């Protein structure tokens, strides 16, 4: 039964947006990806959900500022395994323009393993869709193997 569900589940990943101190540029692009008919990520079976407990794919934006670090990690831990992390924009992976800022700690991958990276400042909606599709592939492989991303 579980194997059957694992085979079906990657057809409809539920996406959760996590703002780790972003400037909102990437969040606007993520909203655009879902809401505007021109891009419409929902035709690929994806759905944005409001609760981290329902999420499969996490879109993280922002350089993980010190102010939100503990809160982001708490929300991240609530997401059930196996989860796939997508870094949207250059901030999560390198800090981008905010690197070495007074409010930015170390890189986000010291705390959260990044599975897929979508560079850009902000990335265009098609690039985010490309990243989500790649994340779904990673998620499918993980479901088949029964692996956890964070263990």
Partner 1 sequence: MLPFLKIMLRNLILGPSTDPFPYAPAKTHENFRGCAVFDPEKCILCGICRHVCAPGAIQIRASEDGSGMQYLLWHNSCVFCGMCAHYCPTGALTMSTNWHLVHTGVEMFSNCISGFIPFGECAQCGAKIQPRPQAIIDKLGVRSPERFLLCPKCKRESIVRNVAQVRHPRQENP
Interacting residues with partner 1 (CB under 8 A): 37-40, 43-44, 85, 87, 90, 93-97, 99, 109, 113-121, 123-124, 126-127, 129-131, 133-134, 138
- Rounded Cα gap, residues 55 and 91, in angstroms: 22
Question: Minimum distance between the CB of residue 60 and partner 1, rounded to whole angstroms?
Answer: 12
Nearer to partner 1 by Cβ, of 66 and 141: the residue is 141
Nearer to partner 1 by Cβ, of 48 and 119: the residue is 119
- Rounded Cα gap, residues 117 and 81, in angstroms: 19
Question: Minimum distance between the CB of residue 1 and partner 1, rounded to whole angstroms?
Answer: 30
Question: Minimum distance between the CB of residue 97 and partner 1, rounded to whole angstroms?
Answer: 5
- Rounded Cα gap, residues 81 and 72, in angstroms: 16
H-only helix segments in 9-147: 25-35, 69-78, 91-94, 125-145
């Amino acid at each position: 039964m579980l194997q059957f569900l694992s085979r079906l589940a990657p057809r409809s990943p539920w996406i959760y947006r996590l703002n780790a101190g972003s400037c909102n540029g990437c969040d606007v692009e993520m909203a655009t990806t879902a809401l505007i008919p021109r891009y419409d990520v929902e035709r690929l079976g994806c759905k944005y959900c409001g609760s981290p407990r329902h999420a499969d794919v996490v879109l993280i934006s922002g350089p993980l500022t010190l102010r939100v670090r503990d809160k982001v990690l708490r929300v991240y831990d609530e997401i059930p395994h196996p989860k796939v992390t997508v870094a949207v924009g250059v901030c999560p992976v390198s800090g981008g323009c905010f690197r070495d800022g007074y409010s930015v700690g170390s890189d986000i991958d010291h705390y959260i393993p990044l599975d897929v990276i979508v560079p850009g400042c902000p990335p265009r909606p098609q690039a985010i869709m490309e990243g989500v599709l790649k994340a779904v592939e990673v998620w499918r492989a993980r479901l088949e193997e029964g692996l956890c991303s964070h263990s």
